[in-house]
Amino acid sequence: MKIQKQLKNEKKALLLCTATSCGTIFIMIFSSKTTLIIYLLLFATSGYGQNPIQIALGPDEIGENQSWTIIVTVNNDRLKSYENFPDIDGFRKRGTSNQSQTSIVNGQMSSSQSVIMTYTPIKQGVFTVPSFKMKVNDQIISVTGKKVKVGPAVQAQRDPFRSMFDDPTDGFFGKGETEFIDVKEDAILALITSKSEVYVGEGFTTTLSFLVADNNRAPMQFHELGKQLSEILKKLKPANCWEENFNIENIEGEPIDINGKGYTQYKIYQAAFYPLNAQPLLFPSVGLEMIKFKVAKNPSFFGQNRQEDFKTFYSRPITVKVKELPPHPLRNSVAVGDYQLAEQLSATTAKTGESMGYEFRIIGEGNITAIEKPIVQNDATFDFYEPNMKQNIKREGGRVSGNKTYNYFMIPKEPGEYKLGDYFQWVFFNPNSKKYDTLQSNYTLLVQGESHKNQFIESTDLGSFYDRLDASANQLQQANSFDWMKVSLNFFILLMLAGSAYLVFKK
């Protein structure tokens, strides 16, 4: 009776119904000039025991002017991650929205988080939503497809409750058509290179970022970033370069200052490139489509206050000049970078015939992968074996650094004092000093013991056949010298032929 009396006396009543995972909430809101009364009636239903992750498809039939959705819901947990929603022929993705709800029934609390992908039909017809799989919170969820019929445009039905309770305060609750306006954004898609001119083999960092000014008022969000980035990188990556990708997995905003103006930088892609020849590197303009929301001209409390739209931002093209290295006998094979040597010798004294270890480690900034081993030659003093290699590459702060280690085993064969710098040398070009430099060992090795030179000779003995070579004459002889053996043999053959002929004719 009290509610009926207020319905009669009050100027506004609005009935809302919201479905939850554990029941249905009916909200009755009464408003007047002086009071705002909210009644909550909760009717529990059997909502427990449901799958914690659910993917719901939209209706089987919609109008051409209506939207179709795929809703991913996580119950009693946080929606941490999900893969891209599928593409559907006949529909266009309009972007995602999120919603969450919490309810308490008989002292037990349940909650859910959802992400909603909205599709709009391109034309009328019957379209097939294929079966697909989505990874949600590291779980693979299989979804059976269906057919969706898109019919003629449907006229929006008027809410019967609003005709009952018209009131000048309708603007507060969002009644009527909402006018949306486009707010000018203050954001740019920036492609930046750390250097505008490099040598062949010299590295430079390329970064593609979306920059949003601190005073930007236009709401925006990323849209199908993985799919777009795949197409962008096909245009950006130069064919004549070695790439070291920084592999950005999570896009997080970083505050930066550009010419005294504050921005939030969202790095989309970052990599270091090392040109393989002197051809100039051309980075074309690329476009990134963003969801940009239009905002309601007269925002309401319960109405829709923003509308999805799309805008493509374009970067400026950039050219990086590549120069040849200065003349040098090893110009086509040396590494380019800023490097130092860290070496380690197992002992500074050794005995002939005993193996020992030596570590030659190259440390610095540059294309670590392209570093080649020092060229070490065997001689009568040392035997050097093929080294073991290990490398470590670090990509952070827009720099690629690391080390490459070569572990050698060697056997000294002659006693004496030897400088390992005569054997271990590595030449590189330093783009900072614009000069060639050499890393060489600073160790001096003292070898003691008997000479193993004779053992080396014995181990390389090629056998008795080659020993006879020393006893053979090495004087040249004429090939056309008179050979009595050959004349005698020919005369004997002629004598036999004559005897055979005599016997034949005699018979």
Mean model confidence pLDDT for the chain: 80
Mean pLDDT of 428-443: 96
pLDDT score, position 208: 96
Pinpoint the alpha helices (H) of 83-224: 160-164, 170-173
* Separation between Cα atoms, residue 48 and residue 20, nearest integer Å: 11
How confident is the model over 337-371, as pLDDT tens digits? 999 999 999 999 999 999 999 999 999 999 999 99
Percent of the chain with pLDDT over 70: 76
Count of Cβ atoms closer than 10 Å to residue 367 Cβ: 20
State which H helix or E strand residue 490 sits in: helix 484-506
How confident is the model over 11-60, as pLDDT tens digits? 333 333 333 333 333 333 333 333 333 333 333 333 344 568 899 999 99
pLDDT score, position 455: 63
Lookup: tokens for 245: 């990708």
pLDDT score, position 52: 85
Q: Lowest-pLDDT range, 42-56, 106-120, 259-273, 291-305? A: 42-56
Query: If pLDDT is split at 50, 70 and 90, which confidence band does 294 have?
Result: confident
Name every residue whose Cβ is closer than 8 Å to that of residue 419 and which is 6 or more positions away in sequence. 441, 443, 444, 445
pLDDT score, position 38: 33
Helix, strand, coil tally for the chain in percent (to 5): 15, 50, 40
Query: If pLDDT is split at 50, 70 and 90, which confidence band does 177 have?
Result: low
pLDDT(380) > 80: yes
Looking at the domain 335-455, which fold is it? Immunoglobulin-like (2.60.40)
* Separation between Cα atoms, residue 471 and residue 194, nearest integer Å: 72
pLDDT(271) > 70: yes
Evaluate whether 424 touches 443 at the Cβ level (below 8 Å). Answer: no
CA-wise closest residue to 292 among 94, 493, 56: 94
* Separation between Cα atoms, residue 503 and residue 507, nearest integer Å: 6
How confident is the model over 461-500, as pLDDT tens digits? 555 555 555 656 566 555 555 567 777 888 888 888 888 8
pLDDT score, position 43: 32
* Separation between Cα atoms, residue 58 and residue 286, nearest integer Å: 34
Q: Exposed/middle/buried for 102, CB within 10 Å: 0-12, 13-18, 19+?
A: exposed
* Separation between Cα atoms, residue 324 and residue 331, nearest integer Å: 9
Q: What is the DSSP letter of 82?
A: B
Helix (H, G, I), strand (E, B) or coil at 141: strand
pLDDT(100) > 80: no
More confident residue, 464 or 435: 435
